[in-house]
Amino acid sequence: MGGPAVEILLQKALTPQQKDMIHALCSLSSVFIKRKDDDLSFNISKADFIVDLEIKNRLLKEIEVYSPPPLLISFTEMLYASEDQEIINIETWMGLRPENKFQVGAMSNGLASHLAVGALAAFLARSLHGLIDFGGVLNGADWSVYEYLQGKNLSFQENIALYDRYFDGHAGRLWAIPYETASEETWFSHYGDADFLEWWLKHPEFRMVK
């Protein structure tokens, strides 16, 4: 992906009817759509599915100025293996066990793409009773906590606390789930629900993970 991408975590596999609903939603929201195998590619130009007027108007303003961003939804079967360390971490920290997931992403990296991916992911997570894997650590547009941490000898818990303060007062649920990096250090990735993502979409420093 050339832009931001997330995964929607589900406790059940998508039904054919749910896939058709998503296809219809994308068709109504786009100027172009192509369906190939289990992938949808489209240029989002409308935002009728967004209930919150602040989020809707922010996205439409960016689309008007910078043109409709190209998006991709991939339904390619993405089942979790029972021994997958990621699912073990999710179950340990979030108290649930997703069995399936699909991807929502953008081919470009402008603010319109970040807003479109975020708004569509929030809508789909709410509609399908899913959760969002942000694919990394969320940072604001103008202040990167990760850059601030460079060269600082903070413990993992101190790192978590720093991000908790950054997102202080957020709506919904936000989880910071740890994992071991290739260099055998502990870092984490953010996961959240639709309420949190809708709150973040209205934040002045909003960005998805790229």
Q: Is 193 contained in some domain?
A: yes
Count the neighbouring beta carbons within 10 Å of the beta carbon of residue 15.
9
Q: Is 89 contained in some domain?
A: yes
Q: Is 210 contained in some domain?
A: no
Q: What is the pTM of this model?
A: 0.92
Question: Which residues are CB-contacts of 94 (< 8 A; sequence separation ≥ 6)?
Answer: 131, 175, 177, 191
User: 167-180, pLDDT tens digit by residue?
Assistant: 999 999 999 999 88
Stated as kind and residue range, the H or E segment containing 99 is none
Domain count, the chain: 1
Q: Is 172 contained in some domain?
A: yes
* pLDDT classification of 127: cutoffs 50, 70, 90: very high
Average pLDDT, the chain: 89
Average pLDDT (11-16) is: 90
β-bridge mates for residue 74, sequence order: 39, 103
Q: Is 207 contained in some domain?
A: no
Q: Which amino acid is at 125?
A: A
For the chain, what's the residue count? 210
Q: Is 208 contained in some domain?
A: no
Side by side, which strands form the sheet with 5-10? 30-36, 39-44, 70-74, 100-106, 5-10, 131-133, 186-192, 174-180
- Residue for token pair 């709506």: 171
The sign of the CA dihedral 26, 29, 34, 39 is negative
Q: Is 145 contained in some domain?
A: yes
User: 143-168, pLDDT tens digit by residue?
Assistant: 666 556 655 677 778 888 888 888 99
More confident residue, 193 or 165: 193
Out of 95-104, 112-121, 142-151, least confident range: 142-151
Long-range own/partner contacts, residues 79-83 (CB < 8 A, 24 or more apart): 79/13
Q: What is the DSSP string of 153-194?
A: ---HHHHHHHHHHHTTT-SS-EEEEEEE-TTS-EEEEEEE-H
What is the domain extent for residue 15?
A: 5-201
User: 195-209, pLDDT tens digit by residue?
Assistant: 999 999 999 999 999
